[in-house]
Structure 1
Amino acid sequence: MKKAGDSLTNFTKAPSETAMRTLLLLLAASTAVRLLLAVLIDPGIDEAYARAVAERLDWSYFDHPPLTFWVVHAVQAIAGPAAPDWLVRLPFVAAFTATGAIAYRLAARLGGAAAGIAAVLTLTLAPFFLVSAGSWIVPDGPMLLFAGLAALVLARILFDEADPGRADRLWLLAGAAFGLALLSKLHAGLIGVGALLFLLGSPRHRGLIATRGPWLAAAVALAVFAPVIGWNAAHGWVSFGFQGGRGVPTGWHPAAGARLLGGQVLYLLPWTFAGLAWALWGGLARAGADTPQRFLASLAWPCIALMTVAPFLSGQGLPHWAMPGWFFAVPLLGARIAAAAAAGSPWPRRAALASAGLLALAVAVVTLAPVVQTRLPATWRPAVDRAFAEALAWRGLDRLLEREGLLPANGFAVATSWRQGGRIAGGLAGRIPVTVFSPDPRGFAFLAPADAQIGRDAVVIGTGPGFARDLALMNGLFERIGPIRDLTLVLPGGAELPVRAASATRLRVPYPWPYGRAGRIAAGHSGP
């Protein structure tokens, strides 16, 4: 019986059509799994928030550059604000399929088709790349697509012979791709830093900095990124300040740093994390300064280093912030896996089987959990329902409020946090606009002019004991706020979510937004 490792060794000498057929089958299988997950899994809090904020087309947005929000806006403009989540996720699923093909090309440059296949397998079996970057409505997927494309074009410039005219065209393409990566997420800037460090550190390529190519690329990237700069200039640089402020050192936070480092390990799976770290170290310490291995390692390490060290100093961060760097270590690991498989080592096959088994188990849990949840003992249900409610969309909220006489005609809804604002907007399915009255409203503060809701009725919605405190802070904003109504929203699968709501009559004065009056007023007039 032929082993998986044996099949890998054959690809280095296999005809190109065999390698391409295998790649296409692998990409098709990966895409099918990600589509299934896109259908099965309800949108996360960040996805619900993105759908809500993307209702308004703007040059850029508070949390991130605009590309992800533009895609969501386009889908919802065509299919409506109540478009199913899987449909809104579809462009992100397709984008990561292209990203897998780019990872194949980057790895194949190092170790042939076997390395490319191993790289795509690594992406497919790593939870973050399979699920979050691979299908969710978040900026990571588009950013990885265009950062990977920029890296692939740069590899052709740096390591393939090209006539000067063709090289200029490639530099322009690299700049456009990198600009689109920046237009997806600011983290892409660290990939650009890595590219610059490689050029400075490579004796063979250092002279390119004095040629026109890199400057053409930088000019094109800046032009593509210009909407973000313009929007921030009109809004007091609030987005740059928000993102930059999250990494400001405030002391030594070992627990937070260790927790977020552990999150990276779980996002990638321990053996994949160890393999990527090993391959990255090889690219930095053992590869020559002007090699493709050092090039990919240089793209990877600035993001990984900064996003791993910063939480120890600031106490803030999220595990996925380092993932763009780990993406560029994947081709390096692909080459290592191909070499190990060619030498007859069993560990690539064992790691792949372990990863596939864990992911299959996770898919089974996601699929069966709603069924199991409805059959639990009654004493367990409240706690389990709360856990499910955190992960499920608030479908049917509009019908519940309508039955209770709380859905204002020609009015609006008020959430007390941006996290619940996205859930509420999804539950209301576009029937009335949603805003957030909170010291931390995020992008909701820029959805409409400050006085857009003056004179209109509202329903204030929230959960938990803190809702009464939040509601009290709105005294004076409305002519009258009714009593709190405790409701139960029955979610798909039977989970019950306690919801608190109160009617509010005629908004008298605008909410005092935390981002400055000038930026708030401009928010109503800055869209394309």
Structure 2
Amino acid sequence: MTNRRALWTIIGVSSVLRLVWAANLGSYTNEAYYYLYAQNLAWGYFDHPPMVGFVAALGLGVTHGLSPAFGLRVGFIAMFAGSTWLMARLTTRSFGERAGVMAALILNVTVFYGMVVGTLAGPDGPLLFFWLLTLERLGAALEAPEQASLWVGAGFAWGAAMLSKYYAALLPVGFLLYLVLKPSARRCLRMPGPYLAIVEGLALFSPVIGWNAEHGWASFAFQGNRAGGFQGFQPELFLEAILGQCLYLTPWIWIGLVAILARLIIRRPRDWSESEAFLISQAVPALAIFMGVATFRRIMPHWPLIGFVSLMPLMGKGWAEQLAASPRRTRWRLRFCAAVPLLVGTLFVIHARSGLFQNERGQLLGSVWPVADPTVDTIRWGQIARELKIRGLLDDPVTFLFTDSWRFSAELAIVSGREVDVACYHRDARSFRFWSRPRDWVGRDGIFIQVEDSQVQAETYVPWFTRVEPIATFPIVRAGIPVETVRLYRCVRQTAPFQFGYTGPGPMPRPGRMPAPEGEPTRMSRHLPTPKLR
């Protein structure tokens, strides 16, 4: 098989597999939240720049009439196919076609990128695509710095990466580090190309700055607070971050990438090739900054992974050399690496639909490791929506639905469509604070949906309503086994606006009371009866 055919086989087979997974899995993690991005397109959101919303809207538009969860993912699956091609192209430029195929395979067999980013909706998909496009165009521009068109392409790619995730701002940092390491490359600074690219990228990103200025710098402040605030050195958090990276990339890929990084650091930078210096310069800023933060604050395991992506071409080069030196043994290793995510992803989808590994109490892995099952989230909200419809709770246009979590409210919105208004009543409402005004809900009845993961009890909302009364309790069922209990409460006539706003952990906001209607006393009971099981 030729290298070109091998690459397109990887892209085609993996894309079909992801489409099958996407069609058989309910919305998961934050996907429903990005569905609401697509329904409320803007140049910014509380927690992310807009590209994830643009890609989600495109997928939903192309698949109009199909399942929203599936349509939401289509654009991201297509974008990951493009990322695979870009990884191969970037690697081929420096190390040859066989290394390009190997690097494309490496990207696809990681758990986080190959399974999660490649299948589910999220901002890391666009970031990956435009990060790789920036590296590919920047590499071409450095080879021919006098060609302004190449710098225009690099500037566009960087601007689009900034529209995907804010830490694409690290790409110019990596470029400057490369110029420090390789003085011969500094001749490009005597030409207009690099400055044109910077201006173009900032121009593309400027609407996000404008949106933040209009919204109290909400998004910048939120993301800045997540990585800031020195809390003393905590080595256990650093070890936790390392373990998370290892599992997200799969241990054998992570170990290989760390080994490459260590070997390069041990060698003198003057001995690095141009390609090695370019790639490590783009890897180090993300790895250094996020792992530095991990020494004093808990980080999400995937935050530093984009740095490892920049090292994958070097790993692809190593795999290509191993394949040439020991083809039989290397092919077996490649089959193993490809089989693991295929098996894990397929079993995940099968279990999410059928409860393959749940015990009689709905717990994961039976008596071996009886823990809460995260896949319940993929089936929970569809059953809740059906229950609400059966009970006629979606029929009244004045009644709205709400939960105590932005994730839950988003899940509720994607399964109920446009049939009913949905709010999030919690101090951390994320973008829900921009999608309605607190006073919009005053005078209306609400239905509070409480799931087992809810952090707020129904009586918490008594001060905002005339009264709160239980409606029903019902189970979420999978394979005939109840896996969770849901409670519904009717909150009659909201009397005061619930003030949205993220100000960090703390107590729920208190309302400014409005008088109840004449003859209808305010119910302030703190001991609501539990709804009876249906």
Q: TM-score range by the shorter chain?
A: 0.7 to 0.9
Distance 1:429 1:460, change over 3 A: same
Runs of at least 5 residues in structure 2 that lack an aligned partner in the other structure: 365-369, 504-534
Q: Does 1:306 align with 2:289?
A: yes
Alpha-carbon contact 1:396-1:427 (below 8 Å) kept: no
Q: Choose from 55, 62, 81 the match for 2:39.
A: 55
* Distance in 2, Cα, partners of 1:242 & 1:195: 27
Aligned to 2:400: 412
1:396 maps to which residue?
383
User: Which amino acid in the other structure matches residue 203 of structure 1?
Assistant: P
**1:474 aligns with one of 461, 464, 489:** 461
The one-character-per-residue Cα deviations of 1:446-471 (angstroms, maximum 9, x if unpaired) are 1123332232221111223966x543
Name 2:498's counterpart in structure 1.
Answer: 511
Q: Does 1:421 align with 2:403?
A: no
Letter in 2 for 1:254: P
Q: 1:481 to 1:191 in 2, by over 3 A?
A: same
Superposition TM-score, scaled by structure 2 size: 0.85
Deviations 1:452-494 (A, max 9, x none): 2232221111223966x54333233223322363222445886
- Please tell me whether residue 175 in structure 1 is matched to residue 158 in structure 2: no
CA displacement 1:121-140 (0-9 Å, x = unmatched): 11121111111221210011
Using CA pairs below 8 Å that are at least 6 residues apart, which structure has the higher relative contact order?
A: 1
Determine which structure has the larger helix proportion and give its number.
Answer: 1
Aligned to 1:11: none
Partner residue of 1:292 out of 275, 278, 301: 275
| Residue identity matched to 1:296 | L
Aligned partners of 2:430 and 2:502 also within 8 Å: no
Bigger drift between 167-176 and 482-491 goes to 482-491
| SS of residue paired to 2:76 | helix
1:340-351 correspondence to structure 2 within 5 Å: 340-344=322-326, 348-351=330-333
SS state of the match for residue 252, structure 1? coil
Matching of residues 346-495 of structure 1 within 5 Å = 348-369=330-351, 373=355, 378=360, 387-407=374-394, 409-410=396-397, 411-464=399-452, 469-483=456-470, 485-490=472-477
Q: CA deviation at 1:201?
A: 2.8
1:435 and 1:444 in contact (8 A); partners too:
yes
1:463 partner amino acid: V
Would the aligned equivalents of 1:34 and 1:135 in 2 still touch at CA under 8 Å? yes
TM normalised by structure 1 equals: 0.86
Matched, 1:262 2:243: yes
Aligned length: 494
Distance 1:176-1:512 versus aligned 2 partners, 3 A rule: same
User: Does 1:130 pair with 2:118?
Assistant: no
From 317, 320, 325, the counterpart of 2:307: 325
- Distance in 2 (alpha carbons) for counterparts of 1:331 and 1:493: 48
Correspondence 1:196-345 to 2 at 5 A: 196-248=176-228, 249-286=230-267, 288=271, 291-314=274-297, 316-344=298-326
Tell me what 1:65 maps to. Answer: 49
Question: More displaced, 54-63 or 169-178?
Answer: 54-63
Find the aligned partners of 1:343 and 1:446 in 2 and give their Cα distance: 58
User: Are the equivalent residues in 2 in contact too, given 1:102–1:152 (CA < 8 A)?
Assistant: yes
Moved more, 428-437 or 340-349: 340-349
- How far 1:381 sits from its partner (Å)? 6.2
For the residue of structure 2 that corresponds to 1:513, the secondary structure is coil
Identity level (%): 31
Q: For the Cα contact (< 8 Å) 1:280–1:332, is it kept in 2?
A: no
Per the alignment, residue 523 of structure 1 pairs with: none
Question: C-alpha deviations, 1:91-110, integer Å up to 9, x for none?
Answer: 11111111111111111122
Deviation at 1:429, TM superposition (A): 2.9
CA distance in 2, matches of 1:173, 1:399: 48
Task: Report the alpha carbon displacement of residue 222 of structure 1 after superposing the two structures with TM.
Answer: 0.7
Does residue 1:84 correspond to 2:78, yes or no?
Answer: no
Distance 1:392 1:118, change over 3 A: same
Structure-2 separation of matches of 1:226 and 1:157: 24
For the residue of structure 1 that corresponds to 2:402, the secondary structure is: strand
Decide which moves more: 365-374 or 473-482. 365-374
SS in 2 for 1:503: strand
Determine the C-alpha separation between the residues in 2 that align with 1:493 and 1:110.
56
